Structure 1
Amino acid sequence: MDPLNHTWTQSFVLAGFSVPGTLRPLAFLGTLCLYLLTLAGNLFIVVLVQVDAGLSTPMYFFIGVLSFLELGYVSATVPTLLHTWLRGRSAISAAVCFIQLYVFHSLGMTECHLLGVMALDRYLAICRPLHYRALMTRKVRFWLAGAAWVAGFSAALVPASLTATLPFCLKEVAHYFCDLAPLMRLACVDAGWHARVHGAVIGAATGCNFVLIWGLYGGILRAVLKLPSAASRVKAFSTCSSHMIVVALFYASAFTVYVGPPGNRSEGTDKCVALVYALLTPLLNPIVYTLRNKEVREAVKRVTVRVRTILKGP
């Protein structure tokens, strides 16, 4: 189609998943249950970190920030998915579509930076234990968390704004939410330059932090191997294990979608992988941090005892 003869698209249609109508109610209920569990789990972590004095360390401060971020991250796309399960192909205005695109990628890149900050925190705790408290003060941890949010929301302006300026001749988005690759396929013009810019921005956010995380964990590994006893080495590694699992889950799914030419993947693959990093990863994060973390389990017991005491009364 000639881009000079196109009309500006005022709305898009989200195709969602192609499933029989009889299975849509079941898919809706399953997704809704996972969504509510994700909200409850991450909200639980946020509240627990705030109310229990035993979790007032920098590590748990960043875990609380991550859980707060996941509340927004999962809510940026799952309500749209629920709507497509109920109504099938769903219309979405162009303005709402581009806002969703921006918020989703802002929170995703913020998580990349935050995971890097959390790796730095573990590096200082293990490799600089005598100076850890002096280095990771309350002011510093707030500054690092704020910098992660500012960096994520600033970087996402580039792909979101460039995509919003494209002329679109087609309306049906082959996805359940507004993402970069499905939207660019609808453009009337060659979006190759836009794709390269998007790849550079997202690659810088994900790749640089990924390299940073591996570099910091290389330093942690060297420090841990120098510890005198096996028990001390196991204890040191246990403080990092949950974070490493979350990093693996996040980056494995993100690299699958955003690294490499989009044409090498089917639209169905993109949608299925998106479910992993947009819904399942935020669901698993609080599970990983509670089930694998002794201090969190002990904090849960303390808070439970306090709540029971309050309910029983004097």
Structure 2
Amino acid sequence: MHNDSKIRDMILIGFSDQQHLQVLLFLIFIFMYLFIVIGNVLLLVLFFLEPNLQLPMYFFIGSLSCIEICYTAVTMPKMLAELLAEEKKTSFSGCLLQAYFLHVLGVAECYMLTIMAYDRYLAICKPLRYSTIMTTGLCIKLVIACLVWSLYSPVVETILIYHLPFCGPNEIENFFCDFPPLIDLACADTRVLTMMESALSSLIMLNFLCILLSYIKVILDILKVKSKVGRQKAFSTCGAHLIVVVLFFVSVGLMYIRVGKYYSPDYNRAVGVIFAVFIPFANPVIYGLRNQEIKTSFKKVFNCLGFR
């Protein structure tokens, strides 16, 4: 099989109908992008320098920070360039490659959040066995397994989309490429691919259900703790992660689980911004502000560097 596409370029509509706001949007988004990169890099440096934070929970947060840096690198530089460019074209191959890595990193984040929920479940519900189960070796193996599975999970779908014929419209009503809009533009029967996309989305949402069930058990165990200080500490370590989980999976639901065939460009853009910009922007803020140990370590490092 080979790709018989007559179309060689895709046009990303993005914010092209908001010409008067494009410079302002560029400034807002470049600030958010720099904040995402700098915020996550600071977290990584902090976890490396501070011995008190060299624990499984922070190892997983650091892994999530790496995923977020890569994820935004896939979407935001292209989006920023398109805001200032007159022609908002991208090659079909480049568009498909972006969609592939978007899914790879999205799936990686999904499974990383699931691993982090498992870590919190062990720490709170099985505290006596936690250190023997969640060893450094197991942490590394879990992260590697997460990344390997993520790299392979969208391969079949990417190959199938590559071999679809594209002969009609070539406009995508968003500022990044993704599988569903590419499937919609194909001049062929795409029911199998649509079912595959729905199945993958359902599998991701199944992870969300597993995380929620584990946190129900965690919360029930926390409520049994007699010490008020102990309960507050347990809730603080879980609260940030639970907020990130809810934000991520709600955005995934809005992005991929749809009941209708057509959604307005404004809806697609808004969900795209939430999914590709707001969630990565929120993560370092949530972990930095909600976790007392991270805040204390930041202050300690800044004091050592001479900042007061």
Superposition deviation, residue 291 in structure 1? 0.8
**Corresponding residue for residue 283 of structure 2:** 285
The whole-number CA distance in structure 2 between the counterparts of 1:282 and 1:131 is: 33
Structure 1: where are the runs of 5+ without partners?
A: 1-5, 310-314
Among residues 210, 227, 251, which one is paired with 1:253 in the alignment?
A: 251
**Corresponding residue for residue 33 of structure 2:** 35
The alignment status of 1:74 with 2:80, answered yes or no, reads: no
Amino acid at match of 1:65: S
The whole-number CA distance in structure 2 between the counterparts of 1:200 and 1:152 is: 15
Superposition deviation, residue 16 in structure 1? 1.5
Q: Name the Cα RMSD after superposition.
A: 1.6
**Corresponding residue for residue 160 of structure 1:** 158
The whole-number CA distance in structure 2 between the counterparts of 1:64 and 1:7 is: 41
2:7 alignment partner, SS class: coil
Deviations 1:24-70 (A, max 9, x none): 11111111111111111111111111111110010000000001100
Deviations 1:80-125 (A, max 9, x none): 2112211144111122111101001100011000000000000000
1:12–1:94 CA contact under 8 A, matched in 2: yes
The alignment status of 1:172 with 2:171, answered yes or no, reads: yes
The whole-number CA distance in structure 2 between the counterparts of 1:70 and 1:202 is: 20
TM-score, normalised on structure 2? 0.93
**Corresponding residue for residue 199 of structure 2:** 200
Matches within 5 A, 1:5-20: 7-20=5-18
Deviations 1:204-263 (A, max 9, x none): 1x1221121012112212211222233322221111000000001101111011113351
Q: CA separation of 1:163/1:185 partners in 2, compared to 1, >3 Å: closer, same or farther? A: same
TM-score, normalised on structure 1? 0.92
1:158–1:198 CA contact under 8 A, matched in 2: no
Among residues 77, 95, 98, which one is paired with 2:96 in the alignment?
A: 98
Further displaced range: 160-169 or 279-288: 160-169
Amino acid at match of 1:202: S
Superposition deviation, residue 7 in structure 1? 4.3
Superposition deviation, residue 193 in structure 1? 2.0
2:46–2:297 CA contact under 8 A, matched in 1: yes
Superposition deviation, residue 307 in structure 1? 2.1
The whole-number CA distance in structure 2 between the counterparts of 1:209 and 1:89 is: 40
1:96 alignment partner, SS class: helix
Amino acid at match of 2:234: A
Superposition deviation, residue 179 in structure 1? 0.9
**Corresponding residue for residue 181 of structure 2:** 182
2:11 alignment partner, SS class: strand
Among residues 216, 219, 232, which one is paired with 1:221 in the alignment?
A: 219
2:107–2:150 CA contact under 8 A, matched in 1: yes
Amino acid at match of 2:92: A
2:232 alignment partner, SS class: helix
Among residues 235, 238, 257, which one is paired with 2:236 in the alignment?
A: 238
2:128 alignment partner, SS class: coil
Runs (4+) off by over 3 Å: none
The whole-number CA distance in structure 2 between the counterparts of 1:267 and 1:121 is: 40
The whole-number CA distance in structure 2 between the counterparts of 1:184 and 1:145 is: 31
**Corresponding residue for residue 270 of structure 2:** 272
1:10–1:94 CA contact under 8 A, matched in 2: yes
1:114–1:148 CA contact under 8 A, matched in 2: yes
Superposition deviation, residue 264 in structure 1? 4.7
1:263 alignment partner, SS class: coil
How many positions carry a matched residue from both structures?
Answer: 303
**Corresponding residue for residue 118 of structure 1:** 116
Superposition deviation, residue 269 in structure 1? 0.8
The whole-number CA distance in structure 1 between the counterparts of 2:47 and 2:97 is: 31
Among residues 288, 305, 308, which one is paired with 1:307 in the alignment?
A: 305
Superposition deviation, residue 278 in structure 1? 0.7
The whole-number CA distance in structure 1 between the counterparts of 2:210 and 2:18 is: 45
